[in-house]
């Protein structure tokens, strides 16, 4: 049976991807994850008992471990999600972002290259290294700029996006110079189940349910292009199946919203689904000091992936956000567990001086 290796599989998108893969595809999955604060084995509980799934705790920078996994499983692909992913954390502590996102990707590329060079014939032709990246590498748009196409010059503005941009460049170079069959996806903001409550949507749901302030950076008019996580996972599967090696595919929801619109939507859903006797959830909205270097607007032109691979988002924001709020209401134990550790230290670090 064929196998793929998924890095960062215990994180938000990685775990949703593994669930979807096991449900929809036939290959086995080896999930590799260091279980940082963002990684959580409970995210992989739905595939725990599946004989096609194996979890390995480990660091993508550990070349000996990665080489062993390649030798043991002879994967036909590696899907690389592992990263430090939160912009605010990258502002407070960029070093870990350089280590994981840049050095970690470099290390994986080296391991993948050694493995691929040892393959022959059909196995060698079929091998793919799929690098999961972000729209943030393209920089920030004004309200009237066209959305990011794959040809847009890179202009990363945060330590996080700069580290992802560096990784993207390494991936590109390993294809151009060594011929490694790589694919890169650059996706917009995801939301959905299993997202750690440091990112806007789960943070707002979590705080609203506790009656705590809903912090809006600046004036709340920054725009993001929101995509349901399951749609992102389908896009990655489509690129892995049919993408042209060396090519980049932008993935987005055609769904631009201001942060204030998103927060209003969540408040109104909670008013209907879990009314608060103290009053409408919008009363908790609190404007706080802006994020340094805060990108104004992201928007993705997702025409290439639609035209070449037939992928389009299936969920509307209205259905996706409703399901997401429902998920957080139904999974209070998951939330309680993930906010029990260092979470409070992070919240006080990021919000106390705002």
Residues making contact with ligand NAD (CB under 6 A):
7-8, 10-14, 33-36, 38-39, 59-61, 81-83, 85, 100, 104, 132, 134, 164, 187, 189-190, 196
Q: Is 160 a catalytic residue?
A: yes
Selected catalytic residue, list 33, 88, 160, 225:
160
| Token pair for 194 | 């299993």
Q: Which string of x and - marks every residue 28-67 that binds ligand DAU (by CB under 6 A)?
A: ----------------------------------------
| Token pair for 7 | 């890095």
- Residue number with CB closer to ligand DAU (127 or 256): 256
Selected catalytic residue, list 59, 136, 295, 301:
136
To which residue do tokens 């896009």 refer?
A: 235
Q: Which stretch binds ligand DAU (CB under 6 A): 55-63, 212-220, 243-251, 275-283?
A: 212-220
To which residue do tokens 């924001």 refer?
A: 317
To which residue do tokens 């999974």 refer?
A: 331
37-41 contact pairs (CB < 8 A, 24+): 37/196, 37/341, 37/342, 37/343, 37/346, 38/11, 38/12, 38/84, 38/85, 38/86, 38/196, 39/8, 39/10, 39/11, 40/10, 40/11, 40/15, 40/194, 40/196, 40/337, 40/338, 41/10
Integer angstrom CA distances of residue 206 from 119, 195, 261: 48, 11, 17
Q: Which stretch binds ligand DAU (CB under 6 A): 79-87, 93-101, 310-318, 322-330?
A: 79-87
Judged by beta carbon distances under 5 to 8 A according to partner kind, the member of ligand NAD, ligand DAU, none in contact with residue 60 is: ligand NAD
Q: Which stretch binds ligand DAU (CB under 6 A): 21-29, 63-71, 195-203, 316-324?
A: 195-203
Residue whose beta carbon is closest to ligand NAD: 11
Q: What's the burial of 111, exposed, middle or buried (CB within 10 Å: 0-12/13-18/19+)?
A: buried
Residue 262 CB, nearest distance to ligand DAU (Å)? Answer: 8
Active-site positions read: 135-136, 160
In the complex, the residues that contact ligand DAU under the rule CB under 6 A are 85-87, 134-136, 188-189, 199-200, 203, 215-217, 222, 224, 259, 291, 298
């Amino acid at each position: 049976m064929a196998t793929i290796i998924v890095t960062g599989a215990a994180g938000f998108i990685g775990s949703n991807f593994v669930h979807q893969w096991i449900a929809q595809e036939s290959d086995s999955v080896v999930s590799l994850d260091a279980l940082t604060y963002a990684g959580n084995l409970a995210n992989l509980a739905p595939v725990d008992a599946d004989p096609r799934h194996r979890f390995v705790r480990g660091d993508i920078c550990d070349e000996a471990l990665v080489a062993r996994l390649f030798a043991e499983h002879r994967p036909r692909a590696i899907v690389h999600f592992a990263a430090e992913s939160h912009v605010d954390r990258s502002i407070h502590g960029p070093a870990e972002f350089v280590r994981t996102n840049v050095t970690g990707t470099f290390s994986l590329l080296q391991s993948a290259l050694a493995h691929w060079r040892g393959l022959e014939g059909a196995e060698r032709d079929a091998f793919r290294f799929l690098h999961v990246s972000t729209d943030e590498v393209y920089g920030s748009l004004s309200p009237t700029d066209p959305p990011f196409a794959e040809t847009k010059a890179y202009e990363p503005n945060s330590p996080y996006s700069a580290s992802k941009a560096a990784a993207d460049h390494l991936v590109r170079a390993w294809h151009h110079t060594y011929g490694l069959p790589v694919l890169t996806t650059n996706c917009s903001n995801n939301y959905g189940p299993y997202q750690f409550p440091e990112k806007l949507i789960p943070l707002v749901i979590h705080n609203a349910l506790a009656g705590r302030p809903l912090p809006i950076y600046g004036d709340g008019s920054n725009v993001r292009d929101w995509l349901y996580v399951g749609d992102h996972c389908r896009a990655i599967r489509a690129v892995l199946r049919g993408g042209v090696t060396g090519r980049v595919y932008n993935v987005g929801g055609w769904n631009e919203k201001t942060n204030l619109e998103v927060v209003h939507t969540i408040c109104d859903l909670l008013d209907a689904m879990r009314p608060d006797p103290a009053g409408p959830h919008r009363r908790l909205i609190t404007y706080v000091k802006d994020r340094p270097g805060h990108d104004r607007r992201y928007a993705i032109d997702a025409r290439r992936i639609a035209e070449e691979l037939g992928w389009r988002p299936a969920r509307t924001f209205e259905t996706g956000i409703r399901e997401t709020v429902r998920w957080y209401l139904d999974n209070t134990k998951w939330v309680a567990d993930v906010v029990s550790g260092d979470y409070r230290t992070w919240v006080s670090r990021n919000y106390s001086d705002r």
